[in-house]
A and B are shown apart, each in its own frame.
Chain A
Amino acid sequence: DTAVSQTPKYLVTQMGNDKSIKCEQNLGHDTMYWYKQDSKKFLKIMFSYNNKELIINETVPNRFSPKSPDKAHLNLHINSLELGDSAVYFCASSQDNLFPNEKLFFGSGTQLSVL
């Protein structure tokens, strides 16, 4: 039973295309996140949702649009893909965002390559 699952694992596409990455967690957590990990392995927060509501939106181009149909799902849609979007995107979840010791559970990542 995978706790946080995201699909696809690999995504290769052309510049200008639109693509989506799906994420689901079966842990019953209230909070979900999208992180981007660049080629230098720097893991940076993009979005945070709590109970389907957006609570954090870092400085991310509006070509990136997260959607949370319910608290177990947080999908990421990317419009007009650019070369600089190439990275590994990690979905994560935590019980909630209130307790300081809440650890994150990560999905296995989606390696996006824009050609």
Chain B
Amino acid sequence: GQNIDQPTEMTATEGAIVQINCTYQTSGFNGLFWYQQHAGEAPTFLSYNVLDGLEEKGRFSSFLSRSKGYSYLLLKELQMKDSASYLCAVNPGNTPLVFGKGTRLSVIA
């Protein structure tokens, strides 16, 4: 089976840094994605990791450890517009993306 875990909700302050964790146990592994989904909107692609290490893209960074089945999304200099759900998804290799239940991030002033 496929299992992807991430916290349900997080709250952080504007200007701060927040780390959203994701652990996975899947039948195969061909990479891990992070998507952002604002309320009432479609998910949009943020990042993709297939090798261990940190990928930085502006204020957002994503980390992967394949041996630990672990990833995190790091958001720096938080802005109110970053309030959204963040979905961790794994490509198991022979099926479409498997998504976690998402972490709803609330950024407060």
B93 within 8 A of A: yes
Interface residue range, chain B:
20 to 34
Q: Which residue of chain A has the shortest Cβ distance to B44 in the bound complex?
A: A106
Q: Which residue of chain A has the shortest Cβ distance to B30 in the bound complex?
A: A100
B66 within 8 A of A: no
Q: In chain A, residues 16-39, which have Cβ atoms closer than 8 Å to a Cβ of chain B?
A: 33, 35
- The tally of CB-CB contacts under 8 A between chains A and B is 54
Interface residue range, chain A:
20 to 34
Q: Which residue of chain B has the shortest Cβ distance to A4 in the bound complex?
A: B42
> Which A residues are CB-close (under 8 A) to B93?
100
With A41-B101, A45-B96, A45-B98 as contacts: A100 and B91 at CB distance below 8 Å: yes
> Which A residues are CB-close (under 8 A) to B89?
43
Question: Are B31 and A100 in contact (CB-based, < 8 A)?
Answer: yes
Picked from A40, A42, A56, A101, the residue with its CB within 8 Å of the CB of B96 is A56
A97 within 8 A of B: yes
Q: In chain A, residues 89-115, which have Cβ atoms closer than 8 Å to a Cβ of chain B?
A: 90, 97, 100-101, 103-109
A44 within 8 A of B: yes
CB distance from B32 to the nearest CB of A (A): 10
Question: Are B42 and A90 in contact (CB-based, < 8 A)?
Answer: yes
Question: Are B98 and A109 in contact (CB-based, < 8 A)?
Answer: no
Would you give 9 A-B contacts (Cβ < 8 Å), ordered by A?
A43-B99, A44-B99, A45-B96, A90-B42, A100-B50, A100-B93, A103-B33, A109-B40, A109-B42
The 5 closest A-B pairs by CB, nearest first: A100-B30, A106-B42, A43-B99, A103-B45, A100-B31
Report B's interface with A, CB cutoff 8 A: 30-31, 33, 35, 37, 40-45, 48, 50, 85, 87, 89, 91, 93, 95-99, 101-102, 104
